[in-house]
Every structure is written in structure tokens, then in C-alpha cells.
Amino acid sequence: MKLLAFAASTSRQSINKKLATYAAGLLEGADVEVLDLNDYEMPLFSVDREAEYGHPELAKAFLQKIAASDAIIVSFAEHNGSYSAAYKNLFDWCSRIQPKVFQDKPMVLLATSPGARGGATVLAAATGSAPFFAGHVKASLAIPSFYENFDVEQGAFKNDELQGKVAQAVGMLQQLDPVLI
């Protein structure tokens, strides 16, 4: 299985990237590619820019990564209760090229933050909207109080219950519908 994982964040120290990478590592035998949204920086989307310049090659390349995958794990950073500007911009460009951005791929959606809600607001938005963009959400999970529950140095959970929930969520990708792959 080709598994694509990324954090919807451009922070170099992104805890969501740490979570996405950790989660992707739980799928035994998977060929994992972890993307960095910093590699997909492009001008802010506007219909005027689209009309004048067309679609950025980086947006096309991102969509090709999705097309080449069998499943996707995304961990969402929450910025003021919503998506990060970088993710939203990339998503907006991609949706103009391919309205079915997630291309009928099974997905696990995660979020985390240092706070007690763990990015639950942005995760709810992502989970609710993904099906409209051909994403098949198999599981979603918000991880609260990231630094209290995850050992960044060891790259592992300190909290066994949360570790089990992440493993269970990722395990849902092993129950792929053969029609989808």
C-alpha cells in the first residue's frame, strides 16, 4: 500500500507533522511518503490570478501525489479554530484543478494541539467536508495536550490509551474496500 501522510501546517517544528509521521509508521508494510507543505508554497488563490496565470505546477504536483497513493493520513493544525492558511490555499488551488481533491482515497484525519481540545474544531470541519471532495474518512481523532501525551524525543506516546486509539484509527486503512484501490 502506498500511504501518503502530511500535516496541514508549515511549521518546521509541527506537532501535527510529528503525529502524521508517527501514525503513518503504524501501518506495517506500507510504502510511506511524508510530504512537507513548505514544498508546495504558492501565491494566494484568487480567481483573478487563476485567470491570468492558470494553475500552479505545485498544485498539480500535489494532486499527482494524491493520485499515486492508496490511502492518506492528514493531521490538521488548528489556527484560530480553522485550517492553516497554507493548507487552505493549497486546497483551494487543488480544488480548482480537480474538484474531487482526495480522488476517492480512504483517509484517516487527525489533529493535535498543546490545548485540551487537540484541534477538535478544525478536525470537525475537515471530517465534515472531506466527503464533498471525494475523501473517504475511515477514522478521525483529535489528540489533546500533545506535549503531555507524546514524547517528542522518543517519537512515541506516553499515553497508552491515546496510542491505542491512533493505532485503531490507522488500522481502519487496512480494511480497504477493493473497489477503492
pLDDT, tens digit, 9 for 90 and up, residues 103-116: 999 999 999 999 99
Enter the pTM of the model: 0.95
Mean pLDDT score across all residues of the chain: 95
Given a contact cutoff of 8 angstroms between Cβ atoms, the answer to whether 169 and 140 are in contact is yes
Q: Please write the tens of the pLDDT for every residue from 8-49.
A: 999 999 999 999 999 999 999 999 999 999 999 999 999 999
Catalogue the E-assigned strands of 18-151: 31-35, 71-76, 105-112, 135-143, 150-151
Would the pLDDT of 147 be above 60? Answer: yes
Q: Please write the tens of the pLDDT for every residue from 113-130.
A: 999 999 999 999 999 999
pLDDT value at position 176? 54
